């Protein structure tokens, strides 16, 4: 069995496929991270301060977020990709472990992002659509030989993140769902979409009121989660799984206010796009004939570097480069120019036969590449064109002093190891051959399987069946060991119980809380947090929604937690609105809703239309808050 497993991995390593999908995944994954860092920076006082604007957190938090944003940006563009991936992973783990993101502001997709961030450290995602490829081409190319960085990767670079980040997550979540009555009734997607705290501004009532459709979606989702990890490696099932999975997560993005989770999951489906689709897309987007022909000095090192840079960013192949020494006299438009004139400038010829030189050549290149047209138009502006011409002239005349000696003609050996592999000595010791890599990958996959099995057995099987491991001494020891393993896997690999939107969360969730204040004109207004419908409004989505709907206000409200977040929310949004916390009062409102385990018609609208009543106040005096909730017993409410 062990030998078969190793041989299977070895065959996967030897099967080379285009890296395009992996590069697109890296870009989209980096954008999701970048968005989350911007989100965290905007809400940094609400999330990280004990009391926003009053009791502040460490001043290092915004610096760390800025550094994280730089790492995410570098990962997105593929600049020093592996180092950026290491930094990004460290930031995810650090912020999850050492900040309130651990439990109070859980984003719902933190473990997904942690696990995939760990995998990106080792995936060769820089082999497509990256600045690293350009760096390699510039470093190892000469006027006599163009170095082409490798653009193929092992098929395992696609299979492993699909299997771990999606497949095991779905399987664990599917096993959890078997214990939830409303999921077994086919109403799993329906119930959260009727709860005001969880819905988006898009009214989906017309879909929610079609019971057979909702049940079909619910059962298809459960079956999909069970079979995904077993079928995703077979070519005939890949496109159906891609379509179904992408549709589900697009539905999450549109219908619920946890869009970061939806996007985080959705970008992983890029890895399932057939390679033929990428080739077809590339062929369809590229011009059949170049729009501009650029002539350059084949013996000029600077000109050759310019060609490499432009060709790297010319995604549509709108520009064709030809050497002056070889092709200049083939074009009548260049006959009237002497050799000295030709070698002094960069010339370009478009389809209409118009000849350009100098800065105008670069402007035409930017215009013809289409997606850089704005930069080309900026360079043509009167206040920029003349200074740009002088700068170009200075650089062009200076290149004459560059000498192309033997060092720039003789081929430079290309790199043997992958780009920017951290701990290169360890790499050479343990993974410099396919057989060594197969062994390391096999050990890692076995470890992941054991950790996932431990998490699933304890929380999705034994806990759901009501098995009490603490009943015996052996059980207590096993539970302690299992919990320790889950904690480590949760933090470092993102392997954790995926019991999302279960019955024990919604059972008894029949009340919502909101906050209002009085403006200078005496009119009562809703804090820009929960509106009069009971919806959590933008931008308080993602982990802010999770804080309020999953921690502060739940089916079992804990008074100390509620008080803590009432203070944080009123301090944050009150200050944002310009209210003076030395003398401000906020009204706490409550309304009742229904969260049944059986389908009910028009439940979304009825929950939204329920009326509010005042139950208490948050009173701020001289920078300190006092919470008064005299009209209702929250513990009794939670026990109903």
- Which of 167-176, 336-345, 469-478, 533-542 has the lowest average pLDDT? 336-345
One-letter-per-residue 3-state SS of 413-479: CCCCCCCCCCCHHHHHHHCCCHHHHHHHHHHHHHHHHHHHHHHHHHHHHHHHHCCCHHHCHHHHHHH
Distances from the Cα of 272 to the Cα of 92, 227, 237, 246, 281, angstroms: 25, 15, 10, 10, 15
What is the spatial distance between Cα 372 and Cα 363, in angstroms, rounded to a whole number? Answer: 10
CB 161 within 8 A of CB 441: no
Q: What is the DSSP letter of 333?
A: G
Residue 132, pLDDT > 70, answer yes
Helical residues (DSSP H) of 185-318, grouped into ranges:
205-208, 211-231, 235-255, 259-266, 275-285, 301-313
pLDDT for 401: 45
Q: Is 463 left (phi over 0), alpha (psi -120 to 50) or beta?
A: alpha
pLDDT for 102: 78
Segment 133-137 shows an average pLDDT of: 90
Nearest to 315 by CA among 58, 87, 518, 130: 130
Q: Please count the other Cβ atoms lying within 10 Å of the Cβ belonging to residue 381.
A: 10
Phi/psi at 601 (5° precision)? -70, 145
Model confidence at 48, pLDDT cuts 50, 70, 90, reads very high
Pick the CATH number of 287-409 from 3.40.630, 3.40.50, 3.40.30, 3.30.450: 3.40.30
500 or 540: which leads in pLDDT: 540
What is the spatial distance between Cα 236 and Cα 229, in angstroms, rounded to a whole number? Answer: 14
Of 198-202, 233-237, 266-270, give the range with the top mean pLDDT: 266-270
What is the spatial distance between Cα 296 and Cα 325, in angstroms, rounded to a whole number? Answer: 8
What is the spatial distance between Cα 546 and Cα 197, in angstroms, rounded to a whole number? Answer: 9
CB 232 within 8 A of CB 160: no
pLDDT for 420: 46
146 or 612: which leads in pLDDT: 612
pLDDT for 588: 94
pLDDT for 298: 78
Residue 404, pLDDT > 70, answer no
pLDDT for 259: 87
Residue 630, pLDDT > 90, answer no
Residue 399, pLDDT > 80, answer no
Segment 26-38 shows an average pLDDT of: 96
155 or 3: which leads in pLDDT: 155
Residue 534, pLDDT > 80, answer yes
Q: What is the CA radius of gyration of the chain?
A: 30
**Residues in CB range of 426: below 8 A, 6 or more apart:** none
pLDDT for 342: 67
Distances from the Cα of 414 to the Cα of 126, 404, 411, angstroms: 16, 20, 9
Model confidence at 344, pLDDT cuts 50, 70, 90, reads confident
Q: Please count the other Cβ atoms lying within 10 Å of the Cβ belonging to residue 550.
A: 20
pLDDT for 566: 94
Q: In a 3-state reduction of DSSP, which class is residue 263?
A: helix
Distances from the Cα of 625 to the Cα of 83, 509, 565, 584, angstroms: 45, 27, 12, 9
Q: What is the pLDDT of residues 425-441, one digit of tens each?
A: 666 666 667 777 888 88
20 or 400: which leads in pLDDT: 20
Q: What is the pLDDT of residues 61-97, one digit of tens each?
A: 999 999 999 999 999 999 999 999 999 999 999 998 8
CB 551 within 8 A of CB 103: yes
Instruction: Indicate the burial class of 174 (C-beta count within 10 angstroms; 0-12, 13-18, 19 or more).
Output: buried
Residue 423, pLDDT > 60, answer no
Distances from the Cα of 553 to the Cα of 21, 49, 258, 510, angstroms: 41, 20, 17, 10
CB 503 within 8 A of CB 183: yes
Provide the mean pLDDT of the chain: 86
pLDDT for 330: 64
CB 109 within 8 A of CB 264: yes
Per domain, the residue ranges of the chain are: 2-268+422-487, 287-409, 511-592+610-639
Segment 215-230 shows an average pLDDT of: 94
Q: What is the pLDDT of residues 614-626, one digit of tens each?
A: 999 999 998 888 9
pLDDT for 267: 95
pLDDT for 446: 92
CB 573 within 8 A of CB 497: no
What is the spatial distance between Cα 222 and Cα 244, in angstroms, rounded to a whole number? Answer: 12
Nearest to 80 by CA among 95, 70, 91, 94: 70
**pTM for this model (two decimals):** 0.90
Distances from the Cα of 75 to the Cα of 85, 257, 474, angstroms: 6, 27, 46
Residue 171, pLDDT > 90, answer yes
- Which of 3-12, 67-76, 584-593 has the lowest average pLDDT? 3-12
Percentage above 90 pLDDT, the chain: 45
Segment 197-205 shows an average pLDDT of: 90
CB 162 within 8 A of CB 272: yes
pLDDT for 327: 67
Segment 227-231 shows an average pLDDT of: 94
Segment 519-524 shows an average pLDDT of: 84
Q: What is the DSSP letter of 412?
A: P
Residue 347, pLDDT > 50, answer yes
pLDDT for 212: 92
Instruction: Indicate the burial class of 325 (C-beta count within 10 angstroms; 0-12, 13-18, 19 or more).
Output: middle
Greatest CA separation for the chain:
96
CB 316 within 8 A of CB 356: no
């Amino acid at each position: 069995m062990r030998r078969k497993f190793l041989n299977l991995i070895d065959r996967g390593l030897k099967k080379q496929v285009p890296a395009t999908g992996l590069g697109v995944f890296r870009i989209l994954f980096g954008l999701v991270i970048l968005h989350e860092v911007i989100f965290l920076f905007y809400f940094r006082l609400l999330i990280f301060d004990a009391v926003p604007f009053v009791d502040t957190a460490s001043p290092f938090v915004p610096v760390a977020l800025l550094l994280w944003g730089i790492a995410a940006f570098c990962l997105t563009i593929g600049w020093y990709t592996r180092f950026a991936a290491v930094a990004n992973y460290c930031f995810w783990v650090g912020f999850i472990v050492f900040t309130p993101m651990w439990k109070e502001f859980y984003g719902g997709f933190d473990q997904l992002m942690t696990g995939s961030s760990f995998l990106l450290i080792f995936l060769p995602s820089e082999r497509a659509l990256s600045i690293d490829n350009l760096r390699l081409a510039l470093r190892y190319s000469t006027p006599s030989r163009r170095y082409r960085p490798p653009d193929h990767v092992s098929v395992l670079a696609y299979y492993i993140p699909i299997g771990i980040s999606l497949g095991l997550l779905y399987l664990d979540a599917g096993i959890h769902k078997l214990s939830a009555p409303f999921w077994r009734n086919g109403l799993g997607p329906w119930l959260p979409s009727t709860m005001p705290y969880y819905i988006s501004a898009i009214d989906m009532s017309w879909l929610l009121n079609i019971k057979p459709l909702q049940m079909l979606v619910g059962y298809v989702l459960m079956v999909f989660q069970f079979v995904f990890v077993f079928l995703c490696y077979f070519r005939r099932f890949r496109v159906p799984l891609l379509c179904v999975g992408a549709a589900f997560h697009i539905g999450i993005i549109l219908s619920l206010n946890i869009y970061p989770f939806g996007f985080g999951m959705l970008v992983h489906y890029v890895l399932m796009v057939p390679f033929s689709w990428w080739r077809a897309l590339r062929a369809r987007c590229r011009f059949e004939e170049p729009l501009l022909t650029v002539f350059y000095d084949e013996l000029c090192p600077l000109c050759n570097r310019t060609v490499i840079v432009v060709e790297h960013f010319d995604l549509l192949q709108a520009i064709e480069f030809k050497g002056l020494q070889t092709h200049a006299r083939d074009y009548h438009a260049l006959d009237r120019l002497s050799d000295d004139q030709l070698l002094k400038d960069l010339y370009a010829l478009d389809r209409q036969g118009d000849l350009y030189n100098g800065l105008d050549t670069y402007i035409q290149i930017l215009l013809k590449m289409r997606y850089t047209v704005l930069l080309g138009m900026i360079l043509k502006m009167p206040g920029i064109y003349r200074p740009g011409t002088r700068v170009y002239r200075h650089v062009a005349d200076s290149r004459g002093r560059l000498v192309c000696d033997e060092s720039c003609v003789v081929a430079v050996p290309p790199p043997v190891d992958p780009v920017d592999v951290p701990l290169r000595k360890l790499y050479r010791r343990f993974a410099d051959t396919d057989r060594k890599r197969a062994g390391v990958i096999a050990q890692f996959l076995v470890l992941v399987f054991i950790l996932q099995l431990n998490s699933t057995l304890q929380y999705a099987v034994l806990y759901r069946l009501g098995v009490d491991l603490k009943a015996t001494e052996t059980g207590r020891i096993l539970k302690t060991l299992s919990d320790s393993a889950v904690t480590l896997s949760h933090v470092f690999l993102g392997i954790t119980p995926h019991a999302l939107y279960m019955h024990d969360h919604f059972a008894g969730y029949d009340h919502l809380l909101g906050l209002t204040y009085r403006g200078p004109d005496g009119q009562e207004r809703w804090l820009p947090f929960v509106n009069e419908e009971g919806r959590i409004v933008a931008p308080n989505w993602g982990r802010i929604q999770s804080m309020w709907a999953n921690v502060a206000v739940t089916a079992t409200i804990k008074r100390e937690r509620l008080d803590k977040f009432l203070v944080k929310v009123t301090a944050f949004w009150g200050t944002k609105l310009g209210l003076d916390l030395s003398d401000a009062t906020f009204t706490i409102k409550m309304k009742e809703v229904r969260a049944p385990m059986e389908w009910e018609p028009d439940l979304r609208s009825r929950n939204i239309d329920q009326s509010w009543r005042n139950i208490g106040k948050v009173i701020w005096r001289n920078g300190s808050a006092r919470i008064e909730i005299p009209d209702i017993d929250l513990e009794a409410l939670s026990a109903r």
